[in-house]
């Protein structure tokens, strides 16, 4: 059904889509390539929510050459009026002859309607080319559309014997500077960074993206976006004097009841959520974030909150930095989990990547 050239051009579109991974949230990353007479005449990718979609940029570059051309796009062209006009209509108006989409858009506002619009206009359509690669571009967007939850990545740092801190709580620094810089790249791609009140208080954590530690190529004219910082504070322990609140970027605090005893900065929003055993429901927190357009959550927390997320099967992927150090059995562990007495009941993961980052090793594993 698809030729070698089709694969070649779709691969280019996928690489273009990756350029928007720091800026497009809550929209998906999308790339588009327009080809005529085996020559690329237009390239584009979605750069910013509310800005032109990938197809628009590619069509602008192609101009009159789009007539009779083939458009390769990593996600089905949209068919509805949102903040921008429908891309399917733009392709029709430009006179393209064929449209190849890597996958159908799961957004209910599209969900096949874009391809149907193109077909009704007499344009040849196809989809499913490099779909796995296209889905990997937008794991969070797809999970939010299909399951109503964001994609959660749990970041951990530990010694080789699996300890996150000394018994007295000291943890700076287990990993080296290159590993810590690497974390900034992941933070910058995430829609939200989530942790618990304990981590904020003990570490006086800011949970921001430090631009001086990022080597990120942004679209022209765009600045580095700070993810939403999300704190689960079931016992109202946070206070406005913490370093977290000295950086003016959006903060959401999930609580069992609102704290009206402090004057909070204007960028802080308190949300009261249902409880589980007197604590904020982690699943309810994720659902609330998904309802707000949060596609991906970067979980950086202590062993207790990480253990709750793991036990409730709310983590999709683990990114663990292992340092060549030994702390000993009295050190603090990665997770607080209930005792498991049978091997068949342990949490099974699948390793997807192992990369050396400076002196440390980054291990990535997804849940099965």
Mean residue pLDDT of the chain comes to 91
**DSSP states of 18-61:** GGGTTT-TTSPP-EEEEEETTEEEEEEE--STTS--HHHHHHHH
Confidence of residue 254 (pLDDT cuts 50, 70, 90): very high
pLDDT above 80 for 348: yes
Cα four-point dihedral sign 228, 153, 156, 255: positive
What pLDDT sits at residue 332? Answer: 85
Please tell me whether residue 353 adopts helix, strand or coil conformation: strand
Question: Going from the N-terminus, what domains does the chain have, and what CATH number goes with each?
Answer: 4-137 (3.40.140.10), 143-367 (3.40.430.10)
What pLDDT sits at residue 313? Answer: 93
pLDDT above 90 for 73: yes
Mean pLDDT over 235-242 rounds to 94
Mean pLDDT over 223-229 rounds to 88
Phi, psi angles (nearest 5°) of residue 97: -95, -30
| Helices 54-62 + 4-17 axis angle, to 10 | 120
Confidence of residue 80 (pLDDT cuts 50, 70, 90): low
CA 18 centroid distance within chain: 12
pLDDT above 90 for 46: yes
Contact 102, 79 (CB under 8 A): no
Share of residues in the chain with pLDDT > 70 (%)? 99
Task: Please state which of the ranges 201-205, 267-271, 362-366 shows the lowest mean pLDDT.
Answer: 201-205
What pLDDT sits at residue 81? Answer: 63
The per-residue b/e assignment along 215-232, b for 16 or more CB within 10 angstroms, e otherwise, is eeebeeeeeebbbbbbbb
Mean pLDDT over 275-285 rounds to 89
Mean pLDDT over 304-322 rounds to 95
Q: Which of 4, 15, 39, 55 is catalytic?
A: 55
pLDDT above 80 for 191: yes
Q: Which long-range contacts (CB under 8 A, 24 or more apart) does 40-47 make?
A: 40/9, 40/12, 41/65, 41/66, 41/69, 42/66, 42/69, 43/12, 43/16, 44/16, 45/16, 45/17, 45/19, 45/20, 46/17, 46/20, 47/19, 47/20, 47/23, 47/219, 47/222
pLDDT above 80 for 19: yes
Confidence of residue 112 (pLDDT cuts 50, 70, 90): confident
Question: What is the Cα–Cα distance from 19 to 63, expressed in whole angstroms?
Answer: 22
Choice between 80 and 231, residue whose per-residue pLDDT is larger: 231
Confidence of residue 14 (pLDDT cuts 50, 70, 90): very high
Please tell me whether residue 211 adopts helix, strand or coil conformation: helix
pLDDT above 90 for 167: no
Q: Is 55 a catalytic residue?
A: yes
pLDDT above 80 for 85: no
Confidence of residue 82 (pLDDT cuts 50, 70, 90): low
What pLDDT sits at residue 42? Answer: 95
Kind plus residue range of the DSSP H or E element containing 251: strand 251-255
Contact 107, 114 (CB under 8 A): no
What pLDDT sits at residue 83? Answer: 64
Confidence of residue 79 (pLDDT cuts 50, 70, 90): confident
Class of residue 366 by CB neighbours under 10 A (exposed 0-12, middle 13-18, buried 19+): middle
Share of residues in the chain with pLDDT > 90 (%)? 71
The binding site for substrate comprises 171, 187, 203, 207, 210, 300
Class of residue 73 by CB neighbours under 10 A (exposed 0-12, middle 13-18, buried 19+): buried
Report which listed range, 107-121, 124-138, 202-216, is most confident.
124-138
Mean pLDDT over 192-206 rounds to 93
Confidence of residue 61 (pLDDT cuts 50, 70, 90): very high
Contact 34, 41 (CB under 8 A): yes
pLDDT above 70 for 84: no
Residue whose entry in the numeric block shows the structure tokens 């096949």? 112
Q: In 3D, which of 42, 41, 44 has the Cα closest to residue 30?
A: 44
Question: What is the Cα–Cα distance from 27 to 75, expressed in whole angstroms?
Answer: 12
What pLDDT sits at residue 18? Answer: 94
Please tell me whether residue 96 adopts helix, strand or coil conformation: coil
Residues whose CB falls within 8 Å of the CB of residue 94, separated by 6 or more in sequence, listed in order: 59, 62, 66, 67
- 177-to-174, 289, 359, 363 alpha-carbon distances in Å: 10, 31, 9, 17
Contact 95, 66 (CB under 8 A): yes
What 8-state DSSP symbol labels residue 208? -
User: 202-222: per-residue pLDDT in tens?
Assistant: 888 999 998 777 777 777 777
């Amino acid at each position: 059904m698809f030729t070698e050239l089709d694969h070649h051009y779709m691969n280019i579109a996928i690489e273009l889509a990756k350029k928007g991974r720091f800026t497009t949230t809550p929209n998906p990353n999308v790339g588009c390539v327009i080809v005529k007479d085996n020559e690329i005449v237009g390239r584009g990718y979605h750069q910013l929510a509310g800005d032109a979609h990938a197809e628009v940029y590619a069509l602008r570059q192609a101009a009159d050459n789009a007539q009779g051309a083939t458009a390769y796009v990593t996600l089905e062209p949209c068919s509805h009026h949102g903040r921008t006009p429908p891309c399917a209509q733009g392709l029709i108006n430009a006179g393209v002859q064929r449209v190849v989409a890597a996958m159908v858009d799961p957004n209910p506002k599209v969900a096949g309607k874009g391809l149907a619009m193109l077909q009704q206009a007499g344009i040849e359509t196809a989809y499913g080319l490099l779909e796995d690669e296209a889905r990997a571009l937008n794991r969070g967007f797809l999970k939010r559309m299909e399951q109503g939850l964001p994609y959660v990545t749990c970041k951990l740092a530990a010694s080789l014997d699996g300890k996150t801190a000394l018994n007295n709580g000291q943890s700076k620094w287990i990993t080296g500077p290159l590993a810590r810089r690497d974390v900034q790249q992941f933070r910058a791609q995430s829609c939200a960074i989530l942790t618990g009140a304990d981590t904020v208080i003990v570490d006086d954590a800011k949970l921001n993206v430090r631009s001086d530690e990022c080597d990120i190529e942004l679209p022209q004219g765009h600045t580095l976006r700070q993810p939403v910082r999300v704190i689960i504070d079931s016992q109202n322990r946070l206070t406005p004097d913490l370093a977290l609140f000295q950086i003016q970027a959006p903060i959401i605090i999930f609580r069992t009841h609102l704290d009206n005893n402090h004057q909070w900065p204007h960028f802080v929003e308190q949300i009261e959520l249902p409880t589980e055993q007197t604590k904020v429901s982690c699943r309810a927190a994720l659902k609330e974030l998904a309802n707000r357009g949060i596609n991906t959550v970067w979980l950086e927390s202590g062993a207790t909150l990480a253990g709750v997320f793991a036990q409730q099967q709310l983590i999709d992927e683990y990114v663990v930095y292992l340092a060549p150090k030994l702390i000993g059995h009295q050190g603090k562990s990665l997770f607080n989990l209930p005792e498991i007495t049978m091997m068949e009941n342990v949490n099974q993961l699948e390793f997807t990547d192992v990369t050396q980052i400076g002196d440390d090793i980054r291990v990535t594993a997804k849940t099965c």
